[in-house]
Amino acid sequence: MDLHIDINTELFPLQRNDKFSLVLAWTINLDATPGSEKYDADFPAISGRRTLMDNYDYVMHGKVFKYKDNNMKVEVFVSFGGLLMKLAGDPAKLEPIEVDNNVYLLLKKL
């Protein structure tokens, strides 16, 4: 798997050779129920409800805007409000991802 990603290094400083855990998720709800795509006054940070975000240091929400299938390798492009990610790898592992999917990216240092 190849990863190219923009992150806000003022919020989440990373140096070359730092190890980190990266998770892509469709929802931040611990019970895997889908979240609302609209404003939610009961948002976890406001309500105190626990979510996947509680286990990570840096979280972004974005949308898949491009998907390229080159038979042996798939490339997925996601925009997180201007910060971009390109993930390339095995089609079997990236197959569930489609253009216009909303996605959460969660990072923590190891």
Q: What pLDDT is attached to residue 96?
A: 84
45: domain range?
Answer: 2-109
Q: What pLDDT is attached to residue 43?
A: 63
What CATH number corresponds to the domain at position 59? 2.40.50.140
Question: Quick one: DSSP state of residue 36?
Answer: P
The string of pLDDT tens digits covering residues 21-56 is: 999 999 888 888 777 665 555 666 656 778 888 899
Q: What pLDDT is attached to residue 25?
A: 92
Q: What pLDDT is attached to residue 32?
A: 81
Residue 63 has pLDDT above 90, yes or no: yes
**Coil, strand or helix at 75:** strand
Where is average pLDDT lowest: 4-13, 30-39, 61-70, 78-87?
30-39
Our count of domains for the chain comes to 1
Q: What pLDDT is attached to residue 104?
A: 92
What is the widest separation between alpha-carbon atoms in the chain?
Answer: 45
Q: What pLDDT is attached to residue 22?
A: 94
Residue 79 has pLDDT above 70, yes or no: yes
